[in-house]
Amino acid sequence: MKVIICVDNEMGIAFNHRRQSRDRILIEDVIKMTEKALFCAPYSKTLLEEHPHLIVSETPLDDAMEENYVFAEMLSLSAYAEKIDTLVLYRWNRTYPSDKTFDLDLSHFTLISSENFVGYSHEKITKEVYVK
């Protein structure tokens, strides 16, 4: 399974049960990268509703198959570590308040690409792709 997640400088993913930030250029990149099925939780549906093959599920990490992408905006990943073969990490390059953090051990992954781009609301967003 391929997982997409956004993090801040401290690996935060959420604050007060909501996303820390959003950026429409980042979402355009996600849609372009995931031409086939993209799974997400209902919370993320409004961000991704333009995706032609969006599958909204209460349990996207359980429902996605090996070849599928999951936009794991607010989801805990540690229990799915064995199923995840690719991780796409978008770094906001800012520090936001957070009460939920990224919980996957990156030492089991290898960074294969990293690129910076200018977002709509962020001067710099870094996209990193990791594989096992």
The string of pLDDT tens digits covering residues 51-73 is 999 999 999 999 999 999 999 99
pTM over 0.85: yes
Tell me what percent of the residues of the chain surpass a pLDDT of 90: 92
Calculate ∠ Cα 80-47-24, nearest 5°. 115
The pLDDT assigned to 17 comes to 82
Which value, to the nearest 10 degrees, does the dihedral of the CA atoms of residues 48, 52, 57, 62 take? -110
Q: Which amino acid is at 22?
A: R
Domains of the chain by range and CATH?
2-131 (3.40.430.10)
The pLDDT assigned to 18 comes to 87
